[in-house]
Amino acid sequence: MVEYLANKWEIDVNLLHESVAWPSIVKARKRASFPFQRFISKWISEDTATGIVMRHLKQWVHNYCPRCNAPEEHLVHILTYPHPDVQTLTNDLLVKLEVWLTQEDTYPALIPILITSIRSWLLDPYGNKPNFLWPTHLVRDAFIAQQQLGWYAFLMGFIAKPIVSLQNSYYSTIQSRKKVLLGQHDLSLNAGTWFIISGHIATQSYMNHKRLHPCLD
């Protein structure tokens, strides 16, 4: 699987193998509903009904986006589609994500950088990365590790280990009751839940795109 994803995303296989918090992904998938587990598998394998996939399945005779005529409709195009309705949906989801992260006792220094980084990627995935005044060297190093994996990988649930470690340390500092109740000694469940929330961002963006494109149903 690691080799397959590394090839798909054009990431060094060793970087993907060593940098991702794999236990968090496993825990998050186990907690997800069966339909959502199926969606996760299809999304990660890029087997959802994009123009590229539909042509490969011989359901369409073309690859292009049926709304804007972009030459290839792929997952990045769907996530970053510039239609105002999609951008409104994305903004709403990011607001909800920020609220949820706060409610889940996420390390406060992580939240604004996470939201800004995701928003920047969704607006322009091939553009320049935002500049930050890093609160600590540890935060800087954690986000550099995620940037090396990419924010597309993050939206797939592939979160860099240093981000998980920072969250684990923060949970330990505040002696989170969630940790005690759930018996999460490695404290990776929070990062796993980010996986689910990130998946919902992807799901709703995709479903909104389908609403704009009735022929995808």
As a whole number, the mean pLDDT across the chain is 77
pLDDT digits (tens, 9 = 90+) for 126-163: 888 899 999 999 999 999 999 999 988 888 888 899 99
What is this structure's pTM?
0.79
Q: Pick from 116, 86, 123, 80: which is nearest to 101 by CA? A: 116
Placement of tokens 């759930």 in the chain: 182
What percent of the chain is predicted at pLDDT more than 70?
80
**20 pairs with which residues across the strands?**
160
Is the predicted pLDDT of residue 187 greater than 50, yes or no? no
The predicted-structure confidence for 81-102, as pLDDT tens digits, reads as follows 777 877 887 888 888 888 888 8
Tell me which H or E stretch contains 184: none
